Structure 1
Amino acid sequence: MGITKRASAAVAAAALIGVAVCATPAYAGTDIGWTKVNLGFQPPPGFSGAGEFKSNGDLVRVCDGDDDGFGVSAWLVDSESNALARVVHVGGKGKCTTRTRNLREGTAVKLLLCLTKGSRGTPCKTSGLGAA
């Protein structure tokens, strides 16, 4: 009889541990791969600027691809193009910069990339949808 009680207690303890482990679901965000923006006259193989978003750490990476006098600016925006995080900017051929942006887990995001020269920001391109 003592063995049966001990076995029942062990089964109950294992069940409680299983419930505790399953009660905290992990959230996996969705990355946004490299999105490129080009000047209208530039051939497709090159790019004037590019950016990506990594959901693990909410990282935005922006790179300037050409010596064309333009920098590259990126914003994380929602599906309505409302800004969610401060701009990340880089200028100079071959230069890249990475910034962390703290977003609520599960927030739907897009990456808006613009070539910038002074206060002018055009052309622009918006990525597909990702999630923080």
Structure 2
Amino acid sequence: MSALIMGASLLTAPSASAADGDTSAWIRLWDTQIDINATAAFKAYGDELTVCDNLADGYGAWAGLYKNVYNGHGTFIKSTSAGGRGNCRTNTENVKEGTVVWIKLCIRKDGANLRCKWSDYGHA
């Protein structure tokens, strides 16, 4: 994921890896062929899961926070979504301290997932 560049100033890349004690996770999903762009981040302080739909293009963005992820499946914790209006939304439901978490970020159209991607892990 080091080649990914965050487009939204609200979502910044963590300064250290999760193995070094970092408590966040982030991800970006974009496709220049169909012009979609979304970002998601989890901040342990405040248990904030934020998703941003970076283009007012009619597509939406959904982010789910999971634990115990293996082979693209995990235990769902919480989610949030942003409509296709170039906006962001945050969910602050509590997550147990020390939980290892991953974000699943999906681009949606008419309620259906078109493309999804998993983040690297972080900690709550």
Q: 3-state DSSP class of the match of 1:103?
A: coil
CA distance in 1, matches of 2:22, 2:53: 26
Partner of 1:124 in structure 2? 116
- Distance apart, 1:114 and its partner CA: 0.2
Partner of 1:75 in structure 2? 64
CA distance in 1, matches of 2:34, 2:108: 16
Give the TM-score, by structure 1 length. 0.67
Q: Deviations over 1:29-54 (max 9, x none)?
A: 61113x111236157xxx52111000
Q: 1:31 aligns with which of 14, 24, 40?
A: 24
Partner of 2:55 in structure 1? 66
RMSD: 2.0
Query: What one-letter code is carried by the residue in structure 1 that aligns with 2:63?
Result: A
Give the TM-score, by structure 2 length. 0.71
Partner of 2:91 in structure 1? 99
4+ residue runs of structure 1 moved beyond 4 angstroms?
none
Question: Does the 8 Å CA contact 2:79/2:91 hold for their aligned counterparts?
Answer: no
Bigger fraction of residues in helix? 1
Stretches of structure 2 that go unaligned for 5 or more consecutive residues are 1-20
CA distance in 1, matches of 2:109, 2:34: 17
Stretches of structure 1 that go unaligned for 5 or more consecutive residues are 1-27
CA distance in 2, matches of 1:84, 1:105: 16
Partner of 2:42 in structure 1? 53
Bigger fraction of residues in strand? 2
- With over 3 angstroms needed to count, the CA separation of the structure-2 counterparts of 1:29 and 1:124, relative to structure 1, is same
The percent identity for this pair of structures is 32
Count of aligned residue pairs for this structure pair: 101
- With over 3 angstroms needed to count, the CA separation of the structure-2 counterparts of 1:83 and 1:116, relative to structure 1, is farther
Partner of 1:9 in structure 2? none
